[in-house]
Every structure is written in C-alpha cells, then in structure tokens.
Amino acid sequence: MENKSTFARWLKITSVISKYFVFYKLGKRRKDIFGKRIRYACEELGPIFIKLGQILSTRYDILNNEDCAELQKLLDQVEPIPLQKVEEIIEKDFGKKYAAVFKTFNTTPLASASIAQVHRATLHDGKKVAVKIRRPEVSEHVESDIRVLKQVVAVASLFSPTLRHVDGKQVVSQLRDWMLIEMDFKQEVKNIKQMKSYLAHAAEHTDTSEEEANNLIIPDVYDEYCTENVIVMEYIDGVPLSKFETIKDNLDYDIMSAAKAIAMLTVRHWLTARNDEYIFHADPHPANLLILKHGKIALVDFGLIGRLSPEQTRHTADLFLAVYARNLERSIEYALAIPGVDYDKYSDKLRPDIKEYLRKTPTTGVGFWFMGFVRIFVKHKVPIPYDIILFGRQNAVGDGLISTILPGKTTIDIMGEELARALRKKITQNILDVDFSRLAYAVSEEVKNSPDRVVSILERLSKDPYAIVKDFHEATSKKYE
C-alpha cells in the first residue's frame, strides 16, 4: 500500500512540475512570473513544498525581488483551514465549544501558513490573544512527502557531484526534523519561554539600556490554553514585515530603529558573550517579524530556534570581527575552528578563496559573510555543522529583508556600530590578556640602575614619540640576550 501511495505521489509531483515549469506556455500560466508559478506549484503539492517555497522566498541571492515577494505569500496567505475543522480541533482539545473557551473568536485568520494558521480572539477575562491552530493531518503529509523527496534526491545525486558532497539525503532528513519540530506545539511553547528568558539575560549581561531592551518584544504565552494542537499567546498589534509597503510612509513607524532593536540586544550579546550559549530565531521570515510603532519590533512564531554552543559562539563572533577587520590569517583560523578541522590540512587550500572573499565583504551584508564561507567550505569539502548553516541562513534572510525595506542599506549599516564596539572590546581584552611582566621587569631594572637614563628617555619621547619604541627594544634586548 505504501509503495502504491509513493508512486501516486511521484505522479502528482511530476504532473505539477510539468504543468508549471515545462508546458506552462501552453496554458493560462504562460504570462505568470517564475515566482508565481513556484507558489502555485507549492500550494498544490502541500506542506513540505510550501516550506521549501518559504525558504526560497528569502533567498534574494537566487531569485529577484519580484519572485521573492510572490513567494512570501506562502508565509501567511496559504488556503486556510475550513472553519468547521477549526471548531473540531478546539472542541477535541478543550472538551468544549470554542465559544466556551473564547469570549470572541475572529473566524477570519490573521495568517495561514504551511503548518498552522492564526486567529485573533479574546479570553473571557478580557485578554486579547492570538490563537495558533495546527493543520489537521499535517504530520502524515510531511512523512509521505519526505519519502518521495529522498528518492528524488537519490536520483538527482547520480548527476550532481555537489549534491553528493553536501549529502542531499541528510539535508532532506534535516528538513524532516525541522518540520517535525515546528509541528510540536509543546516544544514551541518551551521555545517562546526560553527565548524570552534568554533575551532578558542578554539585556542584563550587556550594556543595553532598559529602553533598548523594551524595543524588542516577545509575546507572553498562556499555558492553561495551550494543547497539542493549539497555542494561545498575547496578541501583539503590529504590521508583519511582509506588509511593510502599507506603513513605509507612516511616520509613526521607525523601521531603522526597529531593525537596530534586534541588533542592540541579540547581536550585541552574540558578539560579546564569551562563555554563553547563543540562542537565535532560526526562521526569521517577514511574516514572523512585526513592526510596531515608535521603533519597536516583535518576534513571533518560535517553532524553530537555533543554538550555538559557547565554543561556536566565540568562534563565529571572532570570525565576524576578523572579517570586519579584513584580517586574512585570523579569518582562516576562526573559520576552520568552527567545524574543528585540521588547520594545516585546509588553510593553504582556502587562503586564495578567502583572500578574494575578503575583497568583496566591505560592500556586502553579513549574510554574504557567512554564506560566502559556506560556499568556500563546500568547494573544498570542509564539513559544516548544521547549526552554523541555520545561523548563516538567518543572516542571509536579514540581508534580503534590509535590502528590501531599506534600499541602499546592508545589514552592516545596521550592525556596524555593534561590530565596531565589539572589535574595540576584543582589542582591549587582547591587550589585557598579555603578560607584560617581563617587559615591566626589564624597564624597572633600567629605572633602578640608570635613573638619569629614564629622564633622557622621557626627553626624547617629548621630541620624538616613536623614539620610545627603540628604547624599549634596547632595554629588553639587553636583559634577554
């Protein structure tokens, strides 16, 4: 039965691909742009393909802005769950009609995506809430499509050395794990609480003002109303970044300050926390970012969060600072430290590519900084940890979003102040970490033995500041010859 179902799915996928990408010029889709045809195909094929379309919607390095904008409709404008099904899910999970759970319930969803849709409602105590409802039978659809995708990748790998190298089957397995995590509403509730706690910790352990910390908002979640298929959280009155065009001329919304709100808290902690795990929103697409008035921004939908270990946090931050300073040797060192591979084995191979890469970084965003290394690693067959790929994707999404809503700007324009601050802090710490005792001892001996010579040194310094370097060299070389 399973083989029959898989074969039927193969036929369905082949039929849809043929309709939208092979014979489309013969039908009514002949005038549709590429992004629209991808969107229609993904909607017809279901959750896994909708998720793939969502990922493509933020790949501004692959598709043009018009195609990305079309695919972003998959983020919150998928065909909604019928109201009858919504009522059945609520009644099953709560054991009563939704009118007994909610004082008011807006039957038109605020957003509808591949895994769930969101409705606005009011609890009987008057709290305004957002109700997230999981699509029925979505897990079964995901499992069946994953089986087909694995077969597709196996065939494609026969013709693609690159796909063989990146291990396409593993990528599909990771996509499966990703979607299963996103479908686990109990885990998402934990993620929301963890992110809220983490950002509070980040604010406390960096020089972030209370006003800056309050500009980044995570909704509260109401545990007593959360079930296997329903999450009830605080309703936040904001405009999704995907609908930025509707507010771009409204002076009440300060998009630059909102973008900096994320940098001030999340980026600052990542760049300066030397011994902490770094937790980040791993799916920051435009529908998951709400722009609020007066420079505030809210993060929603925590189905997927990423984590860097303390060691990965240090190495990635050090890599960013080395790239920012355009230091070739340190960039190579920290890049290879991330996967923990043999420096001697790879450094000479990577050096020419990284040298050329650093030449381009001043005019690019941080997404390019990470994904540029990913491409170099793939070329030279350097293994890449999965969380680092997630982190790179997060930054690539940021590049695309900034270039769309702030034309002419890059993520470096947003993060530059934090990078400069972190670089200064790193330089200061490096100096403090140096043991100057040998040098101090040598100089003190000179002071003891020849106080007149010290006076002479100071006089020379007042006339020629660079002379002190020669004197230090002379003093130390005498003691350690």
Q: What phi and psi values does residue 105 have, to the nearest 5 degrees?
A: -150, 115
What the block records as the tokens of 31 is 């005038």
Q: Measure the CA–CA gap between 117 and 132, rounded to whole angstroms.
A: 6
Query: Smallest Cα–Cα separation from 319: which of 176, 453, 426?
Result: 426
Whole-angstrom distance, CA of residue 284 vs CA of residue 397? 7
- Beta strands 297-299 and 216-217 are parallel
Q: Which of 26, 36, 40, 61 is nearest to 401 (CA)?
A: 61
| DSSP assignment string, 150-174 | HHHHHHHHTT-HHHHHTTHHHHHHH
Could you give the dihedral angle defined by the CA atoms of residues 10, 14, 16 and 18, in that order, rounded to the nearest 10 degrees? 180
**Angle at Cα 118 formed by Cα 112 and Cα 119, nearest 5°?**
120
Distance CA 60, CA 35 (A): 12
Using CA atoms, how far residue 393 sits from 24, 53, 199, 262, 410, in Å, is 31, 15, 21, 16, 16
Catalytic choice (283, 318, 399, 471): 283
283 in active site: yes
Q: 217 phi and psi, to 5 degrees? A: -115, 135
CA 345/CA 343 separation, integer angstroms? 5
How many C-alpha atoms does 415 have within 13 Å on its Cβ side?
29
Closest CA to 117 of 146, 66, 82, 156: 82
* 94 touches 226 (CB < 8 A): no
Residue identified by tokens 């011994």 is 275
Distance of CA 466 to the CA centre of its chain: 46
Q: Which two tokens stand for residue 198?
A: 């983490």
CB-based contacts of 289: which residues, under 8 Å, 6+ apart? 240, 241, 297, 298, 299, 300, 401
Active-site residue set: 283
